[in-house]
Each structure stands twice: as structure tokens, then as C-alpha cells.
A = this chain, B = another copy of it.
């Protein structure tokens, strides 16, 4: 099987980590019978400055027509408002209907000095406040701006369903390798704020409950947590959680919070998942403070490559990458500066590649 992968480095360190993602795909063992072809695609703030569009039509078209998956690096946010600019990744998620943003956060055997953390945040990726329907009116006491938070039964249902499926799949992997996880049963925690937003978050909550009540999820324990206490609990007992499903914005916030628990955003991958398509995307941003120094941590990207492969139905290739990355972290000889080490992007990558 040959997979065609779009490469969208974007801005900042996106350009330093996406090449590492390409390299690991090229370096996968031949025994997997997987080949890759690549196409370079533009998006980001620099693209906007050059072309007037942060997400050129060509990028979207090529992804739709030619590609099986893609890797997205990062985009810079301008530090002051720039007319006409808006985030290309948010647009891409909607244009390709990549309805789930999957963000696993875990400690490796060697890295966890406390209890092992092994959770995944499944974030709805197309609606909520991210519909970006805003307006501003000039009132008697100054400006008043409003934004729409939209929650639909359809999107809530499909995100909850994929959360349930991910919980079952994780359980399958755990059963195949006993002793590697602290979870004995699949669990999904529904996050919302329905005590204030009874209609929108209430709809999310009820729909999630319904979706997860389907017979095929009968082995999945279903719990819920109000978003503010979810953040509290996430920090007090992260080891308790397995799959957390949340509307878009809460998922955004929770995944950064969870990343803090494992030491560095530079470790945390994500995949933007739709039907038959996935874009791997490291959770860190464009990191202007370290741009161009060759010291960006490539691990989040390497894990995002693996996650993309999982959703393209290549679990064996994904497992190879995860294992190599975990071995690099556990040996802790080649770590990038965000992890307290001195290794460059290239050195971390080389160390992972040699373990493939």
C-alpha cells in the first residue's frame, strides 16, 4: 500500500519538525509493506502575508483529491489583530470535516516519577465557539461583541461515538500487553458545563450519554465531569482518566492542561480525524522563541505521525514509532532542551530512527 501524505509545515518550528515526520515515515521497515509519497503544501501566517490567504485553495484541493493523510506543523498567531487573517488549521478542520481532534497524553515507563498517566482527550473539532460567528455593535456604553457557541446533536453524537471506539481500541491494546497500563476497564468521561449552559452543553451531555449507551459500548464505563472540576481533577488524579470527550473549546484547554502533566508540550501529539482521513499535528505551536535554532523537540510530531497512521488503519507501523519514541525517552540520553537535555532536533530524530 502506498499512502500519499501532504506536508504542511506552516510557520516557525513547524518547518523544523515536519521534515522529521517525513523522515520517520521513509525510515519505516520494509517488512511493513508500506510506501509513502509526499506533496509539499502551503499554509500559515507567512503564506497569508505573501498571498493574502492563510489557507490557499490549492492546499485544500490537493489534500482532498490526492492525499490519504497529512502532517501539519504550526502557525504563528499575529501579536496584534491583522485584518483578513484567520487561523488556517481551524479552517482546515472544518473544510475537510475532520470532526475529531484526538490528543493522547501519557507518561512512559521511565519518565513518570509519580503514577503513570495514560489518557486521551477526544475533542470535537468543527463547532462550539470555533464556528467563529461574531458581531460587534456600538451601544450606549461602548462596544458589545457577541459570538455564537453552537452545539449540534449530530457533531456531539459522532464525537462521542469515536470516543467510545477509541476507549474500546485502547482496551484491546492493553489486553494484548497486560501490565502496561493502570486502567482495567475502558472509561469515557464526558466534560461539559451544563449547570450553566443547559441547552448547548446540556445537548452535548445528553447526546454523549445516548451515544455511549449503544450496546457495543456496554463494557465502557461512562462518567461525567463539569469542565472546571475536570481541570481540577485532571491535576489531582490524572492517572484515573482514560478517554475524555469534550466540546471544542474545553478540549482545547484540557489538552494543554494535560500536556503540562507530562512535562512538555513538545511531547504531545494530536490527530485531526475525519472519515478516512487524518492530519497529524503536534500540539505545540510555532514557538517563535526557539525558531531557527534547530532545537525543537520532534517527539510531538513523530507521535503525531504514528497517530495519523493509526487512523489510516496502520496500527503496526504506528506501534513501531511509539516504541522507538518511548525507548528514546526512557533512555533519556538524547533529549531536547524543553526536556532538560541538550540534543538538537536532528539528534533526537536520529536516536529515534536507529531504534525503529
A contact residues vs B (CB 8 Å cutoff): 77, 81, 86-87, 90, 129-130, 132, 134-136, 139, 141-154, 157, 193-200, 202-203, 206, 226-229, 231-232, 234-236, 249, 252-253, 255-257, 259-261, 265, 285
Contact = CB atoms under 8 A, between A and B. Distances in A.
Contact of A231 (B90, B130, B136, B257): B257
A148 B145 contact: no
Given A87-B196, A229-B256, A265-B232, A151 B142 contact: no
A231 B253 contact: yes
B228 A252 contact: yes
A136 B199 contact: yes
B256 A77 contact: no
Contacts of A202: 81, 145
Q: How many copies does the complex hold?
A: 2
A199 B235 contact: no
Given A232-B259, A235-B260, 17 more contacts: A81-B198, A81-B206, A130-B196, A132-B198, A134-B198, A135-B199, A139-B152, A142-B154, A145-B199, A145-B200, A146-B148, A146-B149, A146-B199, A147-B148, A148-B149, A232-B256, A257-B257
Contacts of A195: 77, 87
A321 to B, nearest CB: 25
Contacts of A194: 81
